Amino acid sequence: MLFPFFRRNRPKYHVIRHHNYWPYDWGGSLEEADIVFTWFEEKEPLDEWRRQGKKIISYEHGFGSYYGYGQVGVEPYSDKYLSSGEIGKSSLVELGVPEKDILVIGNAHFDDIKMSKHNGNKALFVAQHWMYDVSEYNQETYDKLIKSYPELDWTARTIDKSGGVVAEKIWSSNVEDGDLFQDIKTTLPQFDYVFTPRYSTFCVFAEFMGIPVYITDEHLSFAQKGEKKGYVVPNNQNFIEIGDKLPTPKESNLEGFLKRPSMKFKDVLKWCVSD
């Protein structure tokens, strides 16, 4: 009975944005929404939306973010969950979320990425973005890299949240730009190496393309003493000390973190309104 009803009465929804990671249509206004898709678990706004009769659906807002819930102390508080992969689902179950309230959907941003050959010397430094300005840290890291590996043809990748890096060649983007992921998919394939202080969603694009990713700061030295440093996913990361000979990259291990191909939104929405 759900499907005929669904066709006549498609629920209205609103998406709380986070770096454009949501892969589907953004929906309508929050005021008119029956469903709110959110990336955070803050009790006050979620309770207010519930008082208004809205259903709260959490979506995984970055690579491995549900896996990181336990590491950074996030308490699940939404009604249902949309996980990118089975590992995120298992992590939520460990935190007490009923398995019936979790749907593994993948993420359509990654569906069309294809593996390619990368045998050249074009290297990309992806600057770190953090909760405060780490421009000086990024510049020091970049300077060490170009000095240690002069045989590589370097470009610095910055976003509005990472601060500037002085470099001969710069690829810059706004993280909230609606074309951000398309820009990554179009521009990233020209590079043969990625170097960055900390693994991020950007690195997933690179690994799916067959580009080796080297992590330059295993201990996240840019973070202040006593500060929560986020989470680290167990996916065969290639940690290096700048100046050492680059090791043969480990085989990428993204299976379990990201289902491909992803689910169609009409099927996701049907699940969200079911009991």
Claim to verify: residue 85 and residue 17 sit in the same structural domain:
yes
Kindly state whether residue 115 falls inside one of the protein's structural domains.
Answer: no
Kindly state whether residue 116 falls inside one of the protein's structural domains.
Answer: no
Residues of the chain with pLDDT > 90, as a percent, come to 76
Select the highest-mean-pLDDT range: 57-61, 112-116, 160-164.
57-61
Dump pLDDT digits (tens) for 57-72: 999 999 999 999 988 8
Kindly state whether residue 83 falls inside one of the protein's structural domains.
Answer: yes
In total, the chain counts a number of residues equal to 275
**pTM summary value:** 0.90
Poorest-confidence range of 105-109, 187-191, 226-230, 243-247? 226-230
Mean pLDDT of 105-121: 95
User: 56, 79 in Cβ contact below 8 A?
Assistant: yes
Q: In the predicted model, what is the mean pLDDT of the chain?
A: 91
Task: Tell me the three state secondary structure of residue 102.
Answer: strand
Kindly state whether residue 114 falls inside one of the protein's structural domains.
Answer: no
Task: Using the Cα atoms of residue 78, residue 80, residue 85 and residue 88 in order, give the sign of their dihedral.
Answer: positive
Dump pLDDT digits (tens) for 200-227: 999 999 999 999 999 999 988 887 766 6
Q: E strands of 26-106, at which residues? A: 35-38, 55-59, 80-83, 102-104
Claim to verify: residue 234 and residue 147 sit in the same structural domain:
yes
Which residues, including other chains, have CB under 8 Å from residue 110's CB and lie 6 or more apart? 204, 205, 208, 258, 260, 262
Claim to verify: residue 137 and residue 235 sit in the same structural domain:
yes
Claim to verify: residue 126 and residue 33 sit in the same structural domain:
no
Distance CA 97, CA 87 (A): 14
Question: Residue 79 pLDDT more than 90?
Answer: yes
Q: Which domain holds residue 89?
A: 2-107+258-273
SS3 content of the chain, % helix, strand, coil (to 5): 30, 15, 55
Claim to verify: residue 146 and residue 63 sit in the same structural domain:
no
Claim to verify: residue 220 and residue 267 sit in the same structural domain:
no
